Structure 1
C-alpha cells in the first residue's frame, strides 16, 4: 500500500542526550513543512524533551504518547519509553545516559522490525558509554545487522556522491585479514542492489579503491590488491557487473574520478570517510544499505564540545530524514515494478 507522505512514520532514536542529538532533532521538526512529508515518532520521554526544548528555544510542539497505536499523523509524537528522570550534563560521557541511548535505539529497532514505524533515523551515540553486558556492539550498524534481514553495509551519501565500505569498525591492523573474495563479492553485490533498488540507477557503475599505497605497486608495497581485490573485480565484471578498479586512493578524489561512478567502495573506514567528510561534512548521510528495513543517520557524532550551546547544525539530520523517506518511496516503486512486470501478449497466427 502506498502511503500519503504525511503518514510515513519516521522513528527516531534520541541518541546520547548529553550530546547534540536532541537539539538537531527538535530543530529539524520546528519547520511545519516537515510534518507534510512524514510523521516523526521520537523514542524518549516527552517531559525531558520539553525541558530540552526550552533550553534550545525551540518552537517545536511535542505530542506525548504512551503506546505506539496512539500516534497522530502530522504531530511530533514522543513515545514515552521511560518515566523516570535523570541528570543531564552536556558534553560528558555518562554510562547512565548511554544506557538510555541504547534503550531508545533498541526499542526503535524493534518497532521498525515489527512494522510499527516505516523507517528509522538515529541520532548520534557515544560508542564508549553504550557498552554493557546486554549491548556489546561498536555502533548502530552492527546491531541492526544482527536484528534485521540482509547484509548491512555503511554507505555514506550526499547527492551523487556515495561511498561504501568493505570493512567498517575494524582496527586498521586487521583490515587485510577481512578482505576475502567472498566479502568483496558480497559488498559489491549489496552496493549494486542498493543503487538499483534504492536510488533508481538501472545500470550502476561502481569503483573499488585499493588497499595499499599505489595499489601495492605490483606487490612491492603489498600483495592484497593484485592477489585478492583485482581478480575478484575482474570476475564480477566478466559476469556483468559494472565494477572497476582497484584505484589508488590517494589521488582518486583529488582528480575527481569519483564523479564518473555511481558509488565508490573503500577498503576501510577512514579511507572512505575522510574524503567523504572533507567533501560533504554537514550535508552527508550515513545510510545502512543492504537490509530489509531502512535506517539513516547524520554524518556527525555527539559533538560534546558544542552540546547544550544551541550551536548545532541540524542540516545533516534533516538530510537523513529526507533520504529515509526517498528510499522508502523508491523501494515501494521498485517492488511494484519487479512484482508486477508487464505481460506481453503472445502473437496470434
Structure 2
C-alpha cells in the first residue's frame, strides 16, 4: 500500500484524566503500527506531552494545525485547542469532560467531511461530559445524531459478535421498550452489517429471551411468547436465518453462541456481561448501522489506574485493527455490488439491441 493510500484513522482521546491518552500512546509506541494506517489524534500537544512525561512514554508525536498537513508514517496530532489544561490523572472533573467533548466534536466533524476514514474513540466519562452540547448516554447515541443511519452497538472479538436490542437504558424500562418494531429494526441492522462489514453472505443470528427461561410458557412473563417469538417467525419468513428466543442463562455457558455469526441480547448487561467474561481486554465496540466506521475499546476510563502506567492497550489496538478491517470490507462489498450492477446493465443493453 502506498503511503498516500493508507487509511486515515482519527482518534478522539476521551477523558483527559482517564487512561485514554495512555493507551493511544502505547498502541503507537511500536512504529510498525504506522505501516497499517495514518493515525490522527484530536487533542493538544500540551495535554499529550503532559501524559508522556507523567507516564514516561517516548512515543513520537507530529503536531499539526490543519488536517491538510497530515504526514504518513507519523503519529499526527491535530491541535484542537492550544491552551494549557490543568490535569489530575485519576480524578474526573468538569474540565476533563469539557475537553473530551472538544476532541470528539472535532474528530466527528472530520469524519463527516471525509478528512479521516474511520474514528476510534478512547473512553469518555458519561457523567462529566454532559453539557448543553452533549446530552447523550454515550458515544453511540452522539454519533447516531451526527451521522446518517441508525446505530447498533456490537461488541466483537473474533467470531463472537454481540449486539443490543436496547442499549443504555435502565433495566426498569427494558420490558416496555421491547416491541416488534424495535426487534425487527435491530435484526435488520445486524444482518446488514454482518453481510456488508463482515462479508458473511448468509449470517445466522441468535436472539436471547427477555425473561428467565424465556418466560417458562408465561409463568415468568409473557413478552417472549407474545412479542419476541412471533416477530422472529415473521423475520424467518423473509428468508433471514434468525433464531430464538434462547434462554440467556445457559446460552454462553454451554457454547451455543459458537453456532452463530451474531447474537442480539435484549439489554445491556445480558449481552455485555458474558461477552466481557469471554473476551475482556480483547473486545471491540463497533457502532454498526451508520454511514461511517467507528470502533472503541471494550472498557471505560479506568480512573483507578490512570497515571500509573499499567493500563492494558490491547483492546484499543484491536479497535484500530478492526476499524481498518471493517472499512476495507465495506468498501469491497460496495464495489462488488457496483460491479454486479454495471454487468447487469451492460447485459441488458446488449440484449435490447
Same-fold status (TM-score > 0.5) = yes
Q: How is 1:24-63 mapped onto 2 (pairs within 5 angstroms)?
A: 24-63=23-62
Aligned to 1:309: 308
SS at match of 1:51: helix
Aligned to 2:118: 119
Q: Deviations over 1:117-176 (max 9, x none)?
A: 000000001111001122111110001111111110100000100000001001000011
Number of aligned residues: 347
Segments of 5+ residues of structure 2 without an aligned counterpart are none
SS at match of 2:287: strand
Q: Give the TM-score, by structure 1 length.
A: 0.97
Contact kept in structure 2, 1:28 and 1:314, CA below 8 Å? yes
Contact kept in structure 1, 2:3 and 2:73, CA below 8 Å? no
Contact kept in structure 2, 1:5 and 1:37, CA below 8 Å? no
Q: Give the TM-score, by structure 2 length.
A: 0.96
SS at match of 2:152: strand
Contact kept in structure 2, 1:6 and 1:35, CA below 8 Å? no
Aligned to 2:164: 165
Contact kept in structure 1, 2:11 and 2:122, CA below 8 Å? yes
Q: Deviations over 1:95-137 (max 9, x none)?
A: 0110000110111011101111000000001111001122111
Greater displacement, 271-280 / 130-139: 130-139
CA positional deviation for 1:48? 1.9
CA positional deviation for 1:223? 0.8
Counterpart Cα distance in 2 of 1:329 and 1:152: 20
Counterpart Cα distance in 2 of 1:10 and 1:128: 27
Aligned to 2:227: 228
Structure 2 CA distance for partners of 1:209 and 1:89, relative to 1, 3 Å: same
Aligned to 1:323: 322
Counterpart Cα distance in 1 of 2:339 and 2:85: 52
CA positional deviation for 1:7? 2.1
Structure 2 CA distance for partners of 1:290 and 1:213, relative to 1, 3 Å: same
Counterpart Cα distance in 1 of 2:50 and 2:266: 43
User: What stretches of structure 1 move > 3 A for 4+ residues in a row?
Assistant: 2-6, 342-348
Structure 2 CA distance for partners of 1:314 and 1:144, relative to 1, 3 Å: same
SS at match of 1:300: coil
Q: Deviations over 1:307-343 (max 9, x none)?
A: 0000000000000000000001001100110011144
CA positional deviation for 1:209? 0.1
Counterpart Cα distance in 2 of 1:50 and 1:97: 16
Segments of 5+ residues of structure 1 without an aligned counterpart are none
Contact kept in structure 2, 1:120 and 1:296, CA below 8 Å? yes
Structure 2 CA distance for partners of 1:233 and 1:4, relative to 1, 3 Å: farther
Q: How is 1:188-227 mapped onto 2 (pairs within 5 angstroms)?
A: 188-227=187-226
CA positional deviation for 1:238? 1.1
Counterpart Cα distance in 1 of 2:4 and 2:19: 27
SS at match of 1:295: strand
Greater displacement, 106-115 / 245-254: 106-115
SS at match of 1:243: strand
Structure 2 CA distance for partners of 1:48 and 1:233, relative to 1, 3 Å: same
Structure 2 CA distance for partners of 1:41 and 1:141, relative to 1, 3 Å: same
